Structure 1
Amino acid sequence: MGTMQLESVPEPKYLHLKTVLSEALDQDFAVGEILPNERELAARFGVARATLRQALEQLELEGRLQRRRGVGTTVAPPRVGVDVGGAQHSWPGESVDGWEPVDAAEEAVLSPALLKLLGTAPGEMVLAVRRSRVENGQVLAAELLYVPASSVPGLSAIDAPAGPARARAVMRELQKLVLDGQDRSVELGSARPEDAKELDRLPGAPVLLVTTRYFTVAGTAAVSVATYRADTCRLTFGDSGDVQITHDARVAS
């Protein structure tokens, strides 16, 4: 990458720099290659480091770059397709969908928004099942599945040991109910420390939060909050209205 100065342009300087950097990534760098540090890049392009950071953040959101702990900023590899639509009348865990149970424990503190979504009162017992979505040995998403004890009578009788066995036991009890349907929403968020560690991201990195509410005729039976890496995901919506995440190489946001 040669030294160059950015000329005055009508668009914000960081967007023009993003375009220049994107062209350089195509021509001068290989997948997985580590970029020079911010000070060196800012000097080469004659911009402030704040402008450079804005451009790098945009490229990260578009899936061109990855920021990794202890490594730095690298050129992102091609993406792998992931479907998160799911069958409208299928409980989580009923089909082979790449999710692996990790643990289940009583959630002591829930946000007001989650309590409202679950239809539970503060202090009511809610079990949280943690699962990871793994494909080709790579963790693609981290999920917390919240299950109120009041909606699944068999939860209080579970005596399975902590870990995957307990998580599977909670899901088996949930699947004994008759699923009436589900709804789903997607929003951009920031990675919490525990999710960031599991996804090999930095805390606060942009992520996609896919929230799914499972309900029976009696009301909400469970709520899933799945965290996907925003820098590797492009959302598409099929004819059925299901949400899909497709990982394409070099797809603009």
Structure 2
Amino acid sequence: MGTTQLESVPEPKYWHLKTVLSEALDQDFAVGEVLPNERELAARFGVARATLRQALEQLELEGRLQRRRGVGTTVAPPRVGVAVGSTANGWPVESVDGWELVGATEAEPPAAVRALLGTPEGESVHTVRRTRITGGQAVAAELLYVPAASAPGLSPLDAPSGPARARAVLRELQRLVLDGQDRSVELGSARADDAKELDRLPGAPVLVVTTRYFTSTGTAAVSIATYRADTCRLTFTDSLDLNLTSPTA
């Protein structure tokens, strides 16, 4: 076969620089060490700052670097395992796998979530927020959307907001018989509220894990969990359970 057009395209400068920088991170920098500013790095490697910025962004996406507010760009620590869905075919519960309840509100869900739930436009659902803590660090933020029909025994008197309200919503879910769940993963960008909770910049790369929980009558709840993409990688076990890894503190 002849050489394809794609094969004849030279490697972009920033990609070659990314490889050089990756080797420098292994040899010249320690975990947690702050990198020199862009001007110094560009001069050191003899490249334009725009090229350098592209290479740094790619290394951050791959989890080699972290950008921290008030600190700068630092060398990321090694990754350790954080299982996703270790309670297979189970409802979300409190204080399992590091998940901590933050609170609960009632509001109309986003259009994409509404389509998954099958709820009509204008109808509010219970929205439970949880945060996953690993090694003292927040690695994921979750919004769990629960229609009123999935929590029929929930009274307005059962705590109007906060962790107590979230606990009451989860308790109602436990009363239902779970028939199964499905899960999908995609790369996304951190929204402002999730970015703040995960100590990331808005727009930073994240892994969005969407889980639908089913009963005999259809979709009973939908979870949208946002994981830090700079510190998480996907692995698959022999049983095809999905796992994520993230750094220790």
Given the two structures, how large is their TM-score scaled by the length of structure 2?
0.91
Q: Which residue of 2 aligns with 1:67?
A: 67
Shift of 1:144: 0.4
Task: Measure, in 2, the Cα distance between the counterparts of 1:151 and 1:202.
Answer: 35
Taking the TM superposition and a 5 Å limit, the aligned residue runs for 1:69-88 are: 69-88=69-88
Residues 217 and 17 (structure 1 numbering): CA distance in 2 closer, same or farther, change over 3 Å?
Answer: same
- Other structure's SS at 2:101 match: strand
Alignment correspondent of 1:145: 144
Deviates more, 1:110-119 or 1:179-188: 110-119
Q: Does 1:118 align with 2:117?
A: yes
Runs of 4+ in 1 over 4 A off after TM superposition: none
Deviations 1:85-140 (A, max 9, x none): 333321001672210000000123x3221111111111112011000011222111
Counterpart of 1:37? 37
1:189-225 per-position Cα deviation (integer Å, ceiling 9, x unaligned): 0001111111110100000000100010001111001
Deviates more, 1:214-223 or 1:157-166: 157-166
Cα pair 2:211 2:224 within 8 Å, conserved: yes
| 1:10 to partner: Cα distance | 3.2
Q: Is the 8 A contact 2:94 2:101 kept in 1?
A: no
Name the residue aligned to 1:4. none
What is residue 221 of structure 1 aligned with on the other side?
220
Between the aligned partners of 2:122 and 2:66, the Cα distance in structure 1 is 40
RMSD of aligned Cα (Å): 1.8
Instruction: Please tell me whether residue 13 in structure 1 is matched to residue 13 in structure 2.
Output: yes
Deviation string for 1:18-64 (max 9, x for gaps)?
01111111111111111111122122222222211111111112211
Instruction: Kindly indicate whether the alpha-carbon contact (under 8 Å) linking 1:107 and 1:125 is maintained by their aligned counterparts in 2.
Output: yes
Residue identity opposite 1:81 in structure 2: G
Question: C-alpha distance in 2, partners of 1:234/1:31?
Answer: 18
Deviations 1:153-185 (A, max 9, x none): 123455214211111111001111000100000
**Residue 150 of structure 1: how far off its partner (Å):** 2.3
Q: Distance in 2 between matches of 1:162 and 1:131?
A: 13
TM-score (structure 1 length as normaliser): 0.89
Check whether the contact 2:140–2:228 (CA below 8 A) recurs between aligned residues: yes
Q: Which moved more, 1:81-90 or 1:183-192?
A: 81-90
Compared CA separation, residues 130 and 94, structure 1 to 2 (3 A)? closer
Q: Name 1:183's counterpart in structure 2.
A: 182
Quote the Cα distance in structure 1 between the aligned partners of 2:128 and 2:79.
27
Q: Distance in 1 between matches of 2:157 and 2:47?
A: 60
Distance 2:200 2:16 in 1: 26
> How far 1:152 moved relative to its partner?
2.4
Instruction: Give me the whole-angstrom Cα distance separating, in 1, the residues matched to 2:166 and 2:114.
Output: 21
**Equivalent residues of 1:18, 1:59 under 8 A apart:** yes
Q: Residue 4 of structure 2 corresponds to which residue in structure 1?
A: none
